[in-house]
Amino acid sequence: MKKLFGEMTLGLQHVLAMYAGAILVPLIVGGALGLTGEQLTYLVAIDILLCGVATLLQIMNGRFFGIGLPIVLGCTFTAVGPMIAIGSQYGISAIYGAIIASGIFVVLISGVFGQLVRFFPPVVTGSVVTIIGITLIPVAINNMGGGQGAADFGSATNIALSFGTLLFILIMYKFSTGFMKAISILLGLVAGTAAAAFMGLVNFSAVADASYFHMIKPFYFGTPTFEWSAILTMILVAMVSLVESTGVYFALSDITEKKLSKKDLSKGYRSEGLAIVLGGIFNAFPYTAFSQNVGLIQMSGVKSRKIILIAALMLITLGFVPKIAAATTIIPTAVLGGAMIAMFGMVIAQGIKMLGKVITVSQENAMIVACSVGMGLGVTVVPEIFAGLPASLQILTSNGIVAGSLTAIALNVLFNMIPSRKAVKKEASAAIVQEETATAVK
């Protein structure tokens, strides 16, 4: 019994470590798309449940699915901006059509992604992550003010709540260590909501009205629709997520001392693709490996997949209880905004960290970053610049993340994969010298 209690405690730690990231994504996307309280409760609940299902798919070690490592999967923040953009332009049904299509794409390329990954070196993935983080900051700032269009937008109360929440997170991050530091954002959300409740700004009716149990159903938000630009956007998001997940795979491989084969990697990618498809079918999100749980494994020294299995089962159980999901929907918008600044700022910081290793290597890499980030941000701020182009081309230019990502991929091919004229000449000269040397020896 004591051993089981210890394992349950370790599993709960993993749930808490990823919980803030798991609930923030549906709260941000659902809020931006104007979902009702009931719809938002369902979105949070189904997301938590599918985080557990996706984790189960990855910790198994089957013939075709599962990398067999203690990995926790959650919804990727990389998808937040694209999902909001797709939903705003084409409606929520197009979001899930694009997610399903991107998941199928990942399953199909899982066996050859090792060869495709060369098109996504750190200079490309770092640029994409940076672009996504930058385009999310306006969402955070609007929420700090109380939400775009709110009657009390920018009021002293909203500003105080948002900055108070952010300050609490920063203090926790500075002065706490280990597990408490890992869940500082979750604690910040709780503290901010508690402060708002004392001010009479929290409406608990959503929790009171929510049931204790519900049965999930596919296509809750309607039949998915398929738009080419939306599908391309989510495929790019999925590819970036796979590159990030590869890093998590190898980090855990090193921690657990389990050597990964190409087959293992393919099974891992295939599991993520299947998780993405399930996310689309049940109207949740794309899923990827969560790096914060890797830090928890390293910190605790517990590498057992059984602990992650317990965490996954906890998530699935929580997903069937709308009452718990509804409790997260009462978080005031301003409190969310304060937490978002930290979360989205960390996305940008992660992108900069990735780029810091490659910008100094060559001026060409600096030019790739300059043009791709500039294009991504520019199209986001002034989307009408390409309004005069044919509709077929606007598929690639109407979204800042797609425009910036494709720019990074194309420039990486130009600068880093196509040999320069100077390099070709040098190689040719070396070949001639080698041939003449061989002739002389003969």
* Dist. CA 212–CA 173, nearest whole Å: 34
319: helix, coil or strand? helix
Collapsing DSSP states into helix, strand and coil, what is residue 419?
Answer: coil
Instruction: Please enumerate in sequence order all residues whose Cβ is within 8 A of that of 112, keeping only pairs 6 or more positions apart, or say none.
Output: none
**288 phi and psi angles, rounded to 5 deg:** -150, 165
What does each of the 442 residues of the chain score in pLDDT, given as a tens digit? Answer: 777 777 888 788 788 778 877 888 898 899 889 898 889 999 999 999 999 999 999 998 888 899 999 999 988 877 888 899 899 889 999 999 999 999 999 999 998 886 777 787 888 888 888 887 887 788 889 889 988 778 889 899 999 999 999 999 999 989 987 778 878 888 899 999 999 999 988 888 888 888 888 888 899 999 999 998 899 889 988 988 887 788 788 778 878 888 888 888 899 999 999 999 999 999 999 998 887 677 677 666 778 888 899 999 999 999 999 998 888 888 898 998 998 888 888 878 878 888 887 887 788 999 999 999 999 888 888 878 887 877 656 656 767 777 888 899 899 999 988 876 555 555 545 544 455 555 544 4
Q: What is the pTM of this model?
A: 0.76
pLDDT of the residue at 313:
94
Q: What is the pLDDT of residue 380?
A: 80
Residue 87's φ and ψ, nearest 5 degrees, are -65, -40
Closest CA to 415 of 126, 124, 117: 124
Distance separating alpha carbons of residues 223 and 235, to the nearest angstrom: 20
Using the 8-state DSSP alphabet, how is residue 288 labeled?
A: E
Q: Which two tokens stand for residue 224?
A: 């998915």
Burial (CB < 10 A; 0-12, 13-18, 19+), residue 138, is middle
| Helices then strands, each counted (H, E), the chain | 20, 2
Q: What is the pLDDT of residue 433?
A: 44
Rounded to whole angstroms, what are the CA distances from 179 to 108, 187, 253? Answer: 38, 11, 22
